[in-house]
Structure 1
Amino acid sequence: MTVVAQPDVTVIIGAYEAMPYLVECLASVERQTLDPARMEVIAVDDGSADGTGEYLEEFAARAAMAVTVIRQENSGGPSGPRNVGLAKAAGRYVFFLDADDRLGDEALERMVAMADRNGTDVVVGKVEGINRKPPQSMWGETLERTDVFSSNIKFTLSAQKLFRRALLERHGMRFDESLWTGEDALFTMEAYLRADGVSVVADYPCYYLVGREDGKHVTKSGGYTLRFDSARALMNLIAEMVPAGPRRDSLMVRPFKVTLLPQFGPKFLKDTEEVRQHKRELAEPLLDAHWNPEVARRLRVHERLQLHLVAARRTELLPDVIEFVRAKKQPAAVLEGRGTRVYLGYPHFRSAAAGLPDWIYLAEPREARAVEGYREEAANTLLRRALRKLRRSLAARDVKPAAA
């Protein structure tokens, strides 16, 4: 009897109406430098009528690695096919590859080696775009071992990562089939939080995100309510898994900035009053539950201002801010405290009629550094003095300060 060794990685491809992009996608799988004996492919045709299923079967017949093709009725979204593939996977790791995207030739070999070398449960490979803008802020350096709190990986929550299958099975992790968009963000954030370490491959393009000319990207389709569903699910997950405090606040930035904020940007100007009201009704419970000054200060001033206006039920002031930002106007900088504080004069700053608090307009160092005359070292000195004064005050009352 022949004993079949466990593959190192299972590539799971969910495909719906994927032609002709599927051709290059599968070619990139064939070009992998990882030994074909060390990998398997599970491809799920989700009810396509454009030849996707037939092409997958042709690929299975000729490919050097083991390929399983599953054909099913359309499930309505990407979660179903991914879950079907995950249930069949045998590899030590799984990689979710979208049928219209591509792998770098050395991607799987590099990512498997990275995970094996460091014992990490998730490997995030550098993404480049083809007619589509990829995430960028997390590729500054290759990281052998990090986590979601110590790096910028919270801003890449797509499913196209290498996951240790034992982690997924141990926690019964599957994609939420009730979500039409954002299901990958929920899955990946949970994996980050449960993982025994995450690695980042930043020195090699592991994944090519392809912009379809027909515009058939799930993330670009569907109504605005789906975005609020996605934000709500991700916020709830973060709140359930991370205790209140700075670590939770740092993660909440992601759904606020990436998912909620765009609903109150330029498209808000074009919305009917009925849609605006509905957006407010959807957003306000999320802001009431999770918006606070610590989350707010992690955003740029105009982002903070836009979301604060929603939270404060002052959306009548939003159009002025949106128009100002859209026109790429530069706000006047107001330096105070001998250059240690910089306020950015976006609309309604210190307007008696608006009555908005100054702290909304106070630039954090990353923005303040661009202002001539800002004295960051002096500002840091003042902050340290304020912290020492607070500690002395607490000590006098025999109260221990919370850990930073």
Structure 2
Amino acid sequence: MTVAEPDVSVIIGAYEAMPYLVECLASVEAQTLDPARIEVIAVDDGSTDGSGDCLEEFAARVPMAVTVIRQENSGGPSGPRNVGLAKATGRYVFFLDADDRLGPEALERMVAMADRNGTDVVLGRVEGVNRKAPRSMWGKTLERTDVFSSNIKFTLSAQKLFRRALLERHGMRFDESLWTGEDAVFTMEAYLRADGVSVVADHTCYYLVGRSDGKHVTKSGSYTLRFDSARALTELIARMLPPGAKRDVLMVRPFLVTVLPQFGPVFLRNDEDVRRTKLELAKPLMDAYWNEGVSHRLKVHERLRLHLVAEGRADLLADVIEFLRDKREPDPVLEKRGTRLYLAYPHFRDRAAGVPDRVYLAEPREAKAFPGWRQDPAESFLRRAARKVRRQLRRLTVRRTAEA
């Protein structure tokens, strides 16, 4: 039995996904949402390992509507997702990777959350299986939030529930020119365009599975592709938000998650040509979007490395990375009667290096871990007042949304 408009279209792109695909499909079949309210659109992207046959067998057996599309390999996950999205008829779509699996009751809970709150995107709690999963956004269930007042910017994978009308209204599709990070651009745009986002934090909705064969898509690709991804995401944020605090809050994500890892321990193993190329690729990003509003939201060692990247100081950068690699701790330097804390990473107050003191200045969230530091009373008052204003604005927004 099928319905004219299913509640949710589950879109699965499969490429050489065996044997993981078996459990993936079993997790769809086990969903508690009525099968008549689910459609599955599975795209076999030129597999040679039997993935396509597995999908056909699934389609012939299960009670829900299943469409299997077999095509030549497209080279990445964007193509199959776009093909599936073009065929989807559900009120919502969910992008399920063929080597991952849904948690029990996942679709039922996420659809109910979206319907209850009228939100356009729903995040379900993710757990990792033999790999790390994002954690900072699962502190509590949020009926309605946004990308600025929560940590959802740190999970930009495509495995979310999206209201299809939102995607169609804005013509949203995955960028097939990107070989990595394409889901980050898509999801960030959805966050910014959404009329509210919900977070299901009290129930595992998705299992992110680490493949033992090392073929998981996020582990593939060269460092140049990472900079392509960072460029696309920063340009999207800049295009959708004017300069200011909101833009800076979101710019933290590409700098921290995509750019900074290129200047970690791997940088020490790179030869001189690769080091130089990395700095050249980073330069336009740093010139365009690196500013005080972004930097003060980072920890000192993160800010310091990115400052040195912005200045093109590979020599000083290597010293800092070696210090961190060796798990050494910086000496704390307390001044201004304990209200100002500097962390003396390499080249602190080294005149020859010329790194400004402000780069080493710990923000309160980092400084509070050090004995002897105390919040400046005037600064503390201003921060409390700002938090109070933000809470009042959020309550007002929620009230207006409910009245509408």
Say yes or no: TM over 0.5.
Answer: yes
Q: Does 1:342 align with 2:357?
A: no
Distance 1:284 1:381 in 2: 35
Deviation at 1:381, TM superposition (A): 4.5
Aligned to 1:80: 79
Aligned to 1:310: 309
Aligned to 1:376: 375
Which string of whole-angstrom CA distances, capped at 9 and with x for unpartnered residues, describes residues 116-170 of structure 1? 0000000011100000000011000100000000100000000000000000000
Deviation at 1:382, TM superposition (A): 7.9
Distance 1:332 1:87 in 2: 56
Distance 2:224 2:85 in 1: 28
Shift in CA distance, 360/382, structure 1 to aligned 2, threshold 3 Å:
farther
Deviation at 1:251, TM superposition (A): 0.2
Q: 1:14·1:43 contact (CA, 8 Å) conserved in 2?
A: yes
Distance 1:338 1:358 in 2: 17
* SS of the residue 1:376 aligns to: coil
AA paired with 1:348?
H
Shift in CA distance, 382/356, structure 1 to aligned 2, threshold 3 Å:
farther
Aligned to 2:278: 279
Q: How does 1:127-142 map to 2 (within 5 A)?
A: 127-142=126-141
Distance 1:98 1:326 in 2: 34
Deviation at 1:380, TM superposition (A): 2.6
* SS of the residue 2:285 aligns to: helix
Aligned to 1:396: none
Aligned to 2:179: 180
AA paired with 2:28?
V
* SS of the residue 1:248 aligns to: helix
Distance 1:22 1:255 in 2: 31
Distance 1:37 1:363 in 2: 55
Aligned to 1:37: 36
Q: Does 1:147 align with 2:146?
A: yes
Q: 1:28·1:103 contact (CA, 8 Å) conserved in 2?
A: yes
Shift in CA distance, 238/73, structure 1 to aligned 2, threshold 3 Å:
same
Distance 2:203 2:130 in 1: 19
Aligned to 2:204: 205
Deviation at 1:383, TM superposition (A): 6.0
Q: How does 1:194-233 map to 2 (within 5 A)?
A: 194-233=193-232
Aligned to 1:60: 59
Moved more, 322-331 or 103-112: 322-331
Q: Does 1:109 align with 2:108?
A: yes
Q: 2:101·2:208 contact (CA, 8 Å) conserved in 1?
A: yes
Which string of whole-angstrom CA distances, capped at 9 and with x for unpartnered residues, describes residues 356-396 of structure 1? 10110000111101100111253634867xx9xxxxxxxxx
Q: 2:3·2:36 contact (CA, 8 Å) conserved in 1?
A: no
Distance 1:33 1:169 in 2: 27
User: Percent identity over the alignment?
Assistant: 79
Give the 4+ runs in structure 1 shifted more than 4 A: 381-384
AA paired with 1:19?
M
AA paired with 1:162?
L
Q: Does 1:19 align with 2:27?
A: no
Distance 2:253 2:267 in 1: 20
Distance 1:376 1:261 in 2: 29
Distance 1:6 1:113 in 2: 16
Aligned to 1:294: 293
Aligned to 2:269: 270
Deviation at 1:316, TM superposition (A): 1.1
Q: 2:43·2:70 contact (CA, 8 Å) conserved in 1?
A: yes
Which string of whole-angstrom CA distances, capped at 9 and with x for unpartnered residues, describes residues 41-73 of structure 1? 000000000000000000000011110000000
Distance 2:2 2:335 in 1: 74
Q: 1:341·1:379 contact (CA, 8 Å) conserved in 2?
A: no
AA paired with 1:205?
T
Q: 1:145·1:200 contact (CA, 8 Å) conserved in 2?
A: yes
AA paired with 1:186?
V
Distance 2:254 2:201 in 1: 24
Q: 2:275·2:314 contact (CA, 8 Å) conserved in 1?
A: no
Distance 1:261 1:280 in 2: 11
Shift in CA distance, 349/239, structure 1 to aligned 2, threshold 3 Å:
same
Distance 1:350 1:214 in 2: 48
Distance 1:260 1:330 in 2: 23
Aligned to 2:392: none
Aligned to 2:398: none
Distance 1:47 1:119 in 2: 38
Q: RMSD of the alignment, in Å?
A: 1.5
